[in-house]
Amino acid sequence: MHRIFACLFLVWVATAFAGAAHAQVPPSPAEIAAYDGLHRAAHEDDAEAVARLVAAGADPDARDGSGRTPAHVAAFASSDDALIALAAAGADMNALENGVYDVVTIAAVADDPEMVSLAIELGNRADLVTSIYDGTALIAAAHLGHHEVVRRLVAGGAPLDHVNNLGWTALMEAVVLGDGGPDHVATVRVLVGAGADTGIADRDGVTPLRHAEARGYAEIAAIIRAAPPR
């Protein structure tokens, strides 16, 4: 039990640190006002302008001051048509901005399932290692309880059991950083149903089931207990 309480403290520290820094940073109002060319077209979801600018020689992978390409800006703005036009123009759909995020992870954190599916269809890999935590879009979505995004990432080939540099899988994050409510219950159900390994423990040897039990997340614990043996 002491080990679990120690783990809970470490989770609190990690969560506080993650919330204080290194989160995704969308373009600020000042940055948006200063955008021109493809970055403006991406923000405004202007596919015709994207095609016209690229035809005139604009670089589809140009970077702003935070390393965002027009595709990243399109993801933050949920600009589906612009993203399609950028992909058609040869934009790198797996580019990472300065915060180490790609289009899929930006959309996953924003709880934008349609953008997630579209980006994968356009060539953005669901298995990219993203963020300073060496995670994935699936881990980010599971952490936040974005269960429909989780469902689409799983369908798109996201690795179920990737372990980030905190020692956590998507399932572990859904438990230790979730609130045990309906969204995280649904997230756990998707992950377990897809075959996530429920036995992968954290660095202290505590499993997702034990974390769920310690927090009183009865429904999540029941889903994990019912998982088929591996």
Locate 112 and state its tokens. 């934008």
Note the pLDDT tens digit of each residue in 172-204: 999 999 999 999 999 999 999 999 999 999 999
The pLDDT score that the predictor gives to residue 42 is 98
- The residue ranges of every structural domain in the chain are 27-98, 103-230
Residue 111 · residue 137 · CB < 8 Å: no
Q: What share of the chain is helix, strand, coil (3-state, %, to 5)?
A: 55, 0, 45
DSSP string of 160-188, one letter each residue: TT---TTS--HHHHHHHSS-SSHHHHHHH
Query: How sure is the predictor about 24, in pLDDT bands with cuts at 50, 70 and 90?
Result: confident
Per DSSP, the three-state class of 9 is helix
Question: Which one-letter DSSP state was computed for residue 227?
Answer: S
**What pLDDT was estimated at residue 20?**
33
Is the predicted pLDDT of residue 13 greater than 60, yes or no? no
Encode burial over 166-181: b for 16+ CB neighbours within 10 A, e otherwise.
bebbbbbbbbbbbebe
* Cβ neighbours for 175, distance < 8 A, ≥ 6 positions apart: 184, 188, 208, 211, 212, 215, 217, 220
Contacts (Cβ under 8 Å, ≥6 apart) of 218: none
Rounded mean pLDDT, 87-99: 98
CATH number of 27-98: 1.25.40.20
Exposed/middle/buried for residue 150 (C-beta within 10 Å: 0-12, 13-18, 19+): buried
Domain 103-230 in the same topology as domain 27-98: yes
Tens digit of pLDDT for each residue in 134-173?
999 999 999 999 999 999 999 999 999 999 999 999 999 9
First to last CA, the chain: 26
Q: What is the pTM of this model?
A: 0.90
CA 193 to chain CA centroid, Å, is: 20
The CATH number given to 103-230 is 1.25.40.20
pLDDT tens by residue, 39-85: 999 999 999 999 999 999 999 999 999 999 999 999 999 999 999 99
**Tokens at 77, concatenated:** 């703005």
**With the CA atoms of 38, 40, 43 and 45 taken in that order, what torsion angle do they form, in degrees rounded to the nearest 10?**
-70
